[in-house]
Amino acid sequence: MANTSDVKSLLDAGVHFGHLTRKWDPNMAPYIYMERNGIHIINLYKTAAKLDEATQALRKIAASGRKVLFVATKKQAKDIVAQYAGDANMPYITERWPGGMLTNFVTIRKAVKKMALVDRMKKDGRYETLSKKERLQVDRMRAKLEKNLGSITDMTRMPAALFIVDTVREHIAVKEALKLGIPIFAMADTNSNPRVIDYVIPSNDDASRSIEIIVKAATDSIIAGLEDRKSEKNAEDQLKAKEKENKEAAKAEAKKAEAVVKDEEE
């Protein structure tokens, strides 16, 4: 059963407010508690349970060393996602979703390499050899790529999962993830179709306070997973060091025994 304090914090953040009843998706019925003044109210006990399930899965992904791509292009979610995903060292898209971001990942990586090329040109002096007009064109291209792809420059391989705020708005991202079999974690409001989401978090995806509490919970679990990975690696390093130490001690003992035998033979 969901923790009462967790449910209260979700209630205080307005996570329970859904859309107008006429805009609902019938597939969200299992997550709706009631209807009030023409608005659907989300069952926060189910939200808390689903959020717990999602955060545990995200923690495991982070602990395995893989990336989760956050997607949120709506105004009230942009800054929140950029802040928390950035703190968790995870890639994010907060501007327009680049078509083929996943299904044509090779082309996206080429665009990222263009950015790296411009940066190298500025470092090695080649940039200064360009004409004023050429430098302006290069700077504009770099700025445009930075705006759309800046946060994914370090994403050298496909993400292990997507975390989406508003699957209705980000339907292209959903479609690409489904095509490639990439798991989807998402805030699902009452107008969403939960059937296309692997980890449904029934919640208000329009209010900034609601978005923040859910996104923070997701990124906190990712940070915890990264700490798990770090601890595991440290334990492995210590074990390897101990094994090396034992081998060296065994070799030293073997040499000592060999020297004793040699002295006795002489």
Q: For 1-98+161-223, give the CATH class.
A: alpha beta
Strand order in the sheet with 161-165: 92-93, 68-71, 161-165, 184-188, 199-202
For residue 127, the model assigns a pLDDT of 85
- Longest C-alpha distance within the chain, in Å? 103
For residue 237, the model assigns a pLDDT of 66
Domain with CATH 1.10.287 in the chain: 103-157
Amino acid (one-letter) located at 226: L
Q: Count the neighbouring beta carbons within 10 Å of the beta carbon of residue 94.
A: 23
The CA R_g of the chain, rounded to the nearest whole Å, is: 26
How far CA 55 is from CA of 152, 200, 215, 257, in Å, comes to: 22, 11, 10, 56
Looking at the domain that runs over 103-157, which CATH code has it been given? 1.10.287
Q: Please, what is the end-to-end C-alpha distance for the chain in angstroms?
A: 78
How far CA 175 is from CA of 3, 29, 102, 171, 221, in Å, comes to: 34, 23, 10, 6, 26
pTM of the predicted model as reported, rounded to 2 decimal places: 0.82
Could you give phi then psi for residue 200, rounded to 5 degrees?
Answer: -85, 130
196 and 167 in contact (C-beta within 8 Å)?
A: yes
Strand locations in 90-131, DSSP E?
92-93
For residue 83, the model assigns a pLDDT of 95
For residue 111, the model assigns a pLDDT of 83
For residue 257, the model assigns a pLDDT of 67
51 and 214 in contact (C-beta within 8 Å)?
A: yes
Sign of the dihedral defined by the CA atoms of residues 174, 176, 179, 183, in that order: negative
Tokens in use for 264?
């006795």
For residue 68, the model assigns a pLDDT of 96
Domain with CATH 3.40.50.10490 in the chain: 1-98+161-223
pLDDT by 10s per residue, the chain, length 266? 456 668 999 999 999 999 999 999 999 999 999 999 999 999 999 999 999 999 999 999 999 999 999 999 999 999 999 999 999 999 999 988 888 889 998 888 888 888 888 888 888 988 888 898 888 998 898 888 877 776 787 788 899 999 999 999 999 999 999 999 999 999 999 999 999 999 999 999 999 999 999 999 999 999 999 999 998 777 676 777 777 777 777 777 777 767 666 666 66
For residue 1, the model assigns a pLDDT of 47
- CA 63-66-68 angle, to 5 degrees, is 105
Q: Which among 164, 202, 205 is positioned nearest to 185, based on CA atoms? A: 164
Strand locations in the chain, DSSP E?
17-20, 32-36, 39-42, 68-71, 92-93, 161-165, 184-188, 199-202
Q: Where are the alpha helices (DSSP H) in 159-207?
A: 171-180
156 and 6 in contact (C-beta within 8 Å)?
A: no
